[in-house]
Structure 1
Amino acid sequence: MSDRTNEIPLEIKAKLMQHYGLIGKQQTKSGTGEQSMNGYLPPQAAAQSMKPLIIVPGVGIGPLKLGMSRGEAQEVFSHNSTLEFYASHMEYDSDDKLIGMEISNPYGPSSLVLLYNGVDVFKTKAEALVSVIEEAAPYIRDGSSESGYGYIFRELQMSVWRPVVDEEHLTFATVAIASPGYY
Protein backbone atom coordinates (compact mmCIF):
# COMPACT_ATOMS: atom_id res chain seq x y z
CA MET A 1 0.00 0.00 0.00
CA SER A 2 2.99 2.32 -0.16
CA ASP A 3 2.43 3.01 -3.87
CA ARG A 4 1.78 6.75 -4.10
CA THR A 5 0.82 6.82 -7.80
CA ASN A 6 -2.89 6.86 -6.97
CA GLU A 7 -2.58 9.73 -4.50
CA ILE A 8 -5.59 12.05 -4.22
CA PRO A 9 -4.92 15.04 -6.48
CA LEU A 10 -3.77 17.99 -4.39
CA GLU A 11 -6.39 20.33 -5.85
CA ILE A 12 -9.20 17.98 -4.76
CA LYS A 13 -7.70 17.44 -1.30
CA ALA A 14 -7.10 21.19 -0.85
CA LYS A 15 -10.62 22.01 -2.00
CA LEU A 16 -12.14 19.56 0.50
CA MET A 17 -9.92 20.73 3.35
CA GLN A 18 -10.67 24.39 2.59
CA HIS A 19 -14.39 23.64 2.37
CA TYR A 20 -14.31 22.17 5.87
CA GLY A 21 -12.03 24.89 7.27
CA LEU A 22 -9.20 22.46 7.94
CA ILE A 23 -6.37 24.52 6.51
CA GLY A 24 -4.82 27.85 7.24
CA LYS A 25 -5.74 28.57 10.85
CA GLN A 26 -6.28 27.23 14.31
CA GLN A 27 -9.77 27.31 15.71
CA THR A 28 -11.56 26.56 18.93
CA LYS A 29 -14.44 24.27 18.00
CA SER A 30 -15.03 22.32 21.16
CA GLY A 31 -16.39 25.11 23.30
CA THR A 32 -13.98 23.99 26.01
CA GLY A 33 -11.25 26.43 25.09
CA GLU A 34 -9.08 23.65 23.67
CA GLN A 35 -7.20 24.62 20.54
CA SER A 36 -7.46 22.32 17.58
CA MET A 37 -4.53 21.85 15.23
CA ASN A 38 -5.49 22.95 11.70
CA GLY A 39 -9.16 22.79 12.65
CA TYR A 40 -9.16 19.15 13.80
CA LEU A 41 -11.19 18.49 16.90
CA PRO A 42 -9.25 16.83 19.73
CA PRO A 43 -10.66 13.39 20.70
CA GLN A 44 -11.61 14.58 24.19
CA ALA A 45 -13.72 17.42 22.77
CA ALA A 46 -15.38 15.15 20.21
CA ALA A 47 -16.46 12.79 22.98
CA GLN A 48 -18.37 15.48 24.85
CA SER A 49 -21.28 15.31 22.43
CA MET A 50 -22.20 13.25 19.42
CA LYS A 51 -22.17 15.95 16.80
CA PRO A 52 -22.07 15.08 13.12
CA LEU A 53 -18.70 13.72 12.02
CA ILE A 54 -17.20 15.10 8.84
CA ILE A 55 -15.75 12.77 6.21
CA VAL A 56 -12.69 14.29 4.54
CA PRO A 57 -11.22 11.86 2.01
CA GLY A 58 -7.47 11.47 2.41
CA VAL A 59 -7.67 12.89 5.94
CA GLY A 60 -10.17 11.08 8.15
CA ILE A 61 -13.65 10.72 9.56
CA GLY A 62 -14.30 12.98 12.53
CA PRO A 63 -11.56 12.49 15.11
CA LEU A 64 -10.20 9.36 13.37
CA LYS A 65 -7.31 10.34 11.10
CA LEU A 66 -5.50 8.27 8.52
CA GLY A 67 -1.90 7.76 9.62
CA MET A 68 -2.65 7.73 13.35
CA SER A 69 -1.30 4.83 15.35
CA ARG A 70 -3.47 2.01 16.67
CA GLY A 71 -3.00 3.48 20.16
CA GLU A 72 -4.18 6.90 19.01
CA ALA A 73 -7.26 5.33 17.40
CA GLN A 74 -7.99 3.44 20.64
CA GLU A 75 -7.70 6.74 22.51
CA VAL A 76 -10.34 8.25 20.19
CA PHE A 77 -12.59 5.25 20.81
CA SER A 78 -12.10 5.49 24.58
CA HIS A 79 -13.77 8.90 24.42
CA ASN A 80 -16.38 7.97 21.83
CA SER A 81 -18.03 4.58 22.28
CA THR A 82 -20.67 5.36 19.64
CA LEU A 83 -18.02 5.81 16.98
CA GLU A 84 -16.23 2.67 18.16
CA PHE A 85 -19.48 0.70 17.88
CA TYR A 86 -20.03 1.74 14.27
CA ALA A 87 -16.37 1.42 13.17
CA SER A 88 -16.77 -1.91 11.42
CA HIS A 89 -13.27 -2.19 10.00
CA MET A 90 -9.97 -0.51 10.81
CA GLU A 91 -6.89 -1.48 8.81
CA TYR A 92 -3.31 -0.78 9.86
CA ASP A 93 -0.06 -1.08 7.94
CA SER A 94 3.11 -2.87 9.10
CA ASP A 95 4.08 0.25 11.10
CA ASP A 96 0.72 0.07 12.94
CA LYS A 97 -0.55 3.24 11.23
CA LEU A 98 -4.20 3.54 10.20
CA ILE A 99 -4.50 3.16 6.41
CA GLY A 100 -8.21 2.41 6.04
CA MET A 101 -11.42 2.76 7.99
CA GLU A 102 -15.01 1.69 7.40
CA ILE A 103 -17.99 2.98 9.33
CA SER A 104 -21.28 1.04 9.19
CA ASN A 105 -24.87 1.90 9.88
CA PRO A 106 -26.97 -1.21 9.36
CA TYR A 107 -30.21 0.57 8.47
CA GLY A 108 -31.27 1.14 12.05
CA PRO A 109 -31.75 4.26 14.12
CA SER A 110 -28.38 5.70 14.99
CA SER A 111 -26.97 8.56 16.97
CA LEU A 112 -24.10 8.62 14.49
CA VAL A 113 -24.27 11.18 11.70
CA LEU A 114 -21.56 11.20 9.04
CA LEU A 115 -21.45 14.10 6.62
CA TYR A 116 -19.71 14.28 3.29
CA ASN A 117 -19.88 17.72 1.72
CA GLY A 118 -22.76 18.56 4.08
CA VAL A 119 -24.78 15.46 3.08
CA ASP A 120 -25.67 12.70 5.58
CA VAL A 121 -24.23 9.55 3.99
CA PHE A 122 -26.57 7.19 5.87
CA LYS A 123 -29.83 9.10 5.36
CA THR A 124 -29.39 10.18 1.74
CA LYS A 125 -30.71 7.94 -1.02
CA ALA A 126 -27.90 6.01 -2.67
CA GLU A 127 -28.25 7.54 -6.13
CA ALA A 128 -28.27 11.08 -4.72
CA LEU A 129 -25.20 10.41 -2.58
CA VAL A 130 -23.30 8.96 -5.53
CA SER A 131 -24.10 12.11 -7.50
CA VAL A 132 -22.79 14.32 -4.69
CA ILE A 133 -19.53 12.37 -4.36
CA GLU A 134 -19.13 12.13 -8.13
CA GLU A 135 -19.00 15.94 -8.29
CA ALA A 136 -15.51 15.61 -6.75
CA ALA A 137 -14.36 12.43 -8.54
CA PRO A 138 -15.74 9.71 -10.81
CA TYR A 139 -16.44 6.21 -9.54
CA ILE A 140 -15.09 2.98 -11.00
CA ARG A 141 -17.56 1.56 -13.51
CA ASP A 142 -17.76 -2.16 -12.67
CA GLY A 143 -20.29 -4.85 -11.82
CA SER A 144 -20.75 -3.63 -8.26
CA SER A 145 -21.55 -0.06 -9.30
CA GLU A 146 -23.70 -1.16 -12.23
CA SER A 147 -25.85 -3.23 -9.87
CA GLY A 148 -25.98 -0.39 -7.30
CA TYR A 149 -24.31 -2.28 -4.44
CA GLY A 150 -21.01 -0.45 -4.13
CA TYR A 151 -19.06 2.45 -5.55
CA ILE A 152 -15.35 3.14 -5.35
CA PHE A 153 -14.16 6.70 -5.92
CA ARG A 154 -10.47 5.97 -6.54
CA GLU A 155 -9.32 9.62 -6.77
CA LEU A 156 -10.80 10.22 -3.31
CA GLN A 157 -9.81 6.80 -1.90
CA MET A 158 -13.43 6.52 -0.74
CA SER A 159 -16.15 3.88 -1.12
CA VAL A 160 -19.79 3.32 -0.20
CA TRP A 161 -21.61 -0.02 -0.08
CA ARG A 162 -24.94 -1.64 0.71
CA PRO A 163 -25.73 -5.35 0.98
CA VAL A 164 -29.19 -5.13 -0.59
CA VAL A 165 -30.56 -3.09 -3.47
CA ASP A 166 -34.34 -2.98 -3.30
CA GLU A 167 -37.18 -0.58 -2.55
CA GLU A 168 -36.73 -1.01 1.20
CA HIS A 169 -32.96 -0.39 1.35
CA LEU A 170 -32.49 2.94 -0.39
CA THR A 171 -29.34 4.12 1.41
CA PHE A 172 -25.81 2.85 1.87
CA ALA A 173 -24.82 0.78 4.89
CA THR A 174 -21.09 1.57 4.94
CA VAL A 175 -18.67 4.30 3.99
CA ALA A 176 -14.92 3.81 3.88
CA ILE A 177 -11.90 6.01 3.28
CA ALA A 178 -8.30 4.99 2.88
CA SER A 179 -4.77 6.22 2.41
CA PRO A 180 -3.49 6.94 -1.10
CA GLY A 181 -2.92 3.82 -3.16
CA TYR A 182 -5.33 1.64 -1.17
CA TYR A 183 -8.00 1.32 -3.91
Structure 2
Amino acid sequence: MDNLNIIPGQSIGDIKLGMTKTQAENAIKSHADLFAKIEYDSNDKIHFIEIGYGEADRYRCLYRDIDLFNTKVTELVEILDQVSPYDRNDSELGYTYNFPEMGLSLWRPVILTEEDLQQDWFKELSPDLQEDEMKHLYFEAVAVYKPGEYY
Protein backbone atom coordinates (compact mmCIF):
# COMPACT_ATOMS: atom_id res chain seq x y z
CA MET A 1 0.00 0.00 0.00
CA ASP A 2 1.38 3.38 -1.02
CA ASN A 3 1.45 6.46 1.18
CA LEU A 4 -0.38 9.62 0.16
CA ASN A 5 0.94 12.62 2.04
CA ILE A 6 -1.53 15.22 3.25
CA ILE A 7 0.05 18.61 3.88
CA PRO A 8 -2.51 20.96 5.45
CA GLY A 9 -2.75 24.28 3.70
CA GLN A 10 -0.73 22.92 0.76
CA SER A 11 -1.51 19.61 -0.90
CA ILE A 12 -2.87 16.11 -1.06
CA GLY A 13 -0.33 13.96 -2.85
CA ASP A 14 0.78 15.67 -6.06
CA ILE A 15 -2.24 17.98 -6.19
CA LYS A 16 -1.33 21.37 -4.76
CA LEU A 17 -3.34 24.42 -3.83
CA GLY A 18 -2.75 27.17 -6.37
CA MET A 19 -2.34 24.79 -9.32
CA THR A 20 -4.14 25.84 -12.45
CA LYS A 21 -6.93 23.68 -13.80
CA THR A 22 -4.63 22.47 -16.59
CA GLN A 23 -1.83 21.58 -14.17
CA ALA A 24 -4.28 19.73 -11.94
CA GLU A 25 -5.81 17.82 -14.85
CA ASN A 26 -2.33 16.69 -15.95
CA ALA A 27 -1.38 15.66 -12.40
CA ILE A 28 -4.68 13.84 -11.86
CA LYS A 29 -4.60 11.75 -15.07
CA SER A 30 -3.18 8.71 -13.33
CA HIS A 31 -5.53 9.15 -10.32
CA ALA A 32 -8.73 10.37 -11.96
CA ASP A 33 -10.93 8.72 -9.34
CA LEU A 34 -8.77 9.64 -6.37
CA PHE A 35 -10.18 13.03 -5.41
CA ALA A 36 -13.68 13.50 -4.05
CA LYS A 37 -13.69 17.23 -4.77
CA ILE A 38 -11.41 19.87 -6.21
CA GLU A 39 -12.64 23.45 -6.24
CA TYR A 40 -11.18 26.31 -8.22
CA ASP A 41 -11.21 30.03 -7.55
CA SER A 42 -12.21 32.71 -10.07
CA ASN A 43 -8.70 32.47 -11.61
CA ASP A 44 -9.10 28.71 -12.21
CA LYS A 45 -6.57 27.89 -9.49
CA ILE A 46 -7.20 25.20 -6.90
CA HIS A 47 -8.32 26.54 -3.52
CA PHE A 48 -9.85 23.36 -2.01
CA ILE A 49 -8.91 19.67 -2.29
CA GLU A 50 -10.81 16.77 -0.70
CA ILE A 51 -10.19 13.05 -0.62
CA GLY A 52 -12.61 10.41 0.63
CA TYR A 53 -12.12 7.31 2.75
CA GLY A 54 -12.47 4.95 -0.21
CA GLU A 55 -8.86 5.72 -1.02
CA ALA A 56 -7.77 4.22 2.29
CA ASP A 57 -7.93 0.85 0.53
CA ARG A 58 -5.27 2.03 -1.93
CA TYR A 59 -3.31 4.54 0.11
CA ARG A 60 -2.36 5.33 3.65
CA CYS A 61 -3.35 9.00 3.86
CA LEU A 62 -0.73 10.46 6.15
CA TYR A 63 -0.13 13.71 7.96
CA ARG A 64 3.14 13.58 9.93
CA ASP A 65 3.01 9.76 9.82
CA ILE A 66 -0.52 9.78 11.28
CA ASP A 67 -3.03 7.78 9.24
CA LEU A 68 -5.95 10.20 8.97
CA PHE A 69 -8.50 7.54 8.01
CA ASN A 70 -7.42 4.83 10.42
CA THR A 71 -6.99 6.82 13.62
CA LYS A 72 -10.11 7.19 15.74
CA VAL A 73 -11.76 10.62 15.68
CA THR A 74 -11.22 11.30 19.39
CA GLU A 75 -7.52 10.45 19.24
CA LEU A 76 -6.89 12.26 15.97
CA VAL A 77 -8.67 15.47 17.00
CA GLU A 78 -6.70 15.54 20.26
CA ILE A 79 -3.38 15.15 18.39
CA LEU A 80 -4.21 17.77 15.76
CA ASP A 81 -5.62 20.20 18.31
CA GLN A 82 -2.15 20.30 19.90
CA VAL A 83 -0.69 21.35 16.55
CA SER A 84 -3.40 23.88 15.74
CA PRO A 85 -6.76 24.45 17.48
CA TYR A 86 -9.94 23.35 15.76
CA ASP A 87 -12.90 25.69 15.41
CA ARG A 88 -14.95 24.96 18.50
CA ASN A 89 -17.81 27.14 17.22
CA ASP A 90 -18.32 25.22 13.99
CA SER A 91 -22.06 24.59 13.52
CA GLU A 92 -21.28 21.01 12.37
CA LEU A 93 -18.86 20.20 15.18
CA GLY A 94 -18.75 16.48 15.79
CA TYR A 95 -19.32 15.78 12.12
CA THR A 96 -16.71 18.27 10.93
CA TYR A 97 -13.51 19.42 12.56
CA ASN A 98 -11.92 22.43 10.90
CA PHE A 99 -8.41 23.51 11.70
CA PRO A 100 -8.45 26.93 9.99
CA GLU A 101 -4.97 28.04 11.05
CA MET A 102 -3.39 25.08 9.28
CA GLY A 103 -5.93 24.66 6.46
CA LEU A 104 -7.31 21.21 7.26
CA SER A 105 -10.84 19.86 7.54
CA LEU A 106 -11.98 16.38 8.58
CA TRP A 107 -15.52 15.03 8.14
CA ARG A 108 -17.69 12.04 9.02
CA PRO A 109 -21.41 11.58 8.26
CA VAL A 110 -22.47 10.28 11.69
CA ILE A 111 -21.30 11.09 15.21
CA LEU A 112 -20.47 7.86 17.04
CA THR A 113 -18.54 7.55 20.30
CA GLU A 114 -17.00 4.67 22.21
CA GLU A 115 -19.78 5.15 24.77
CA ASP A 116 -22.36 4.52 22.03
CA LEU A 117 -20.92 1.04 21.56
CA GLN A 118 -22.15 0.17 25.06
CA GLN A 119 -25.70 1.40 24.48
CA ASP A 120 -28.61 -1.01 24.02
CA TRP A 121 -29.52 0.39 20.60
CA PHE A 122 -26.02 -0.53 19.38
CA LYS A 123 -25.90 -3.94 21.04
CA GLU A 124 -29.25 -4.83 19.47
CA LEU A 125 -27.87 -4.35 15.96
CA SER A 126 -26.75 -7.36 13.97
CA PRO A 127 -22.97 -7.94 13.91
CA ASP A 128 -22.83 -6.74 10.29
CA LEU A 129 -24.62 -3.49 11.16
CA GLN A 130 -22.43 -3.01 14.23
CA GLU A 131 -19.35 -3.35 12.05
CA ASP A 132 -20.76 -0.88 9.54
CA GLU A 133 -21.67 1.62 12.28
CA MET A 134 -18.20 1.38 13.84
CA LYS A 135 -16.77 3.01 10.70
CA HIS A 136 -18.18 6.25 12.11
CA LEU A 137 -15.53 6.21 14.82
CA TYR A 138 -13.24 7.40 12.01
CA PHE A 139 -13.29 10.26 9.52
CA GLU A 140 -14.47 9.66 5.97
CA ALA A 141 -13.13 12.76 4.22
CA VAL A 142 -10.07 14.98 4.52
CA ALA A 143 -9.70 18.36 2.86
CA VAL A 144 -6.98 20.98 2.61
CA TYR A 145 -7.38 24.68 1.90
CA LYS A 146 -5.39 27.87 2.38
CA PRO A 147 -4.94 28.65 6.07
CA GLY A 148 -7.40 31.28 7.19
CA GLU A 149 -9.81 30.57 4.34
CA TYR A 150 -12.73 28.65 5.72
CA TYR A 151 -14.99 26.32 3.71
Per the TM superposition, whether the score is higher than 0.5 is yes
Q: Given the alignment, which residue of 8, 27, 33 partners 1:57?
A: 8
Per-residue CA deviations over 1:85-135 (Å, capped at 9, x if unaligned) read 2311101111111111111115x8611221011111011101111112112
Q: Identity of aligned pairs, percent?
A: 38
**Residues 86 and 153 of structure 1, relative CA distance in 2, 3 Å threshold:** same
Counting strand residues as a fraction of each chain, which structure ranks higher? 2
Q: Contact between 1:88 and 1:102, CA under 8 Å: does it hold in 2? A: yes
Counterpart mapping for 1:1-183 below 5 A: 51-79=2-30, 81=31, 84-106=32-54, 110-142=57-89, 143-145=91-93, 148-166=94-112, 167=117, 168=134, 169-183=136-150
> Whole-Å Cα distance in 1 between the matches of residues 95 and 37 of structure 2?
18
Following superposition, which runs of at least 4 residues in structure 1 exceed 6 angstroms of deviation? Answer: none
Unaligned runs of 5+ in 1: 1-49
Q: Contact between 2:4 and 2:13, CA under 8 Å: does it hold in 1? A: yes
**Residues 182 and 162 of structure 1, relative CA distance in 2, 3 Å threshold:** same
Instruction: State the AA in 2 paired with 1:130.
Output: V
Secondary structure of residue in 1 paired with 2:27: helix
Count of aligned pairs: 128
Instruction: State the AA in 1 paired with 2:73.
Output: A
**Residues 173 and 78 of structure 1, relative CA distance in 2, 3 Å threshold:** same
**Residues 91 and 109 of structure 1, relative CA distance in 2, 3 Å threshold:** closer
Secondary structure of residue in 1 paired with 2:50: strand
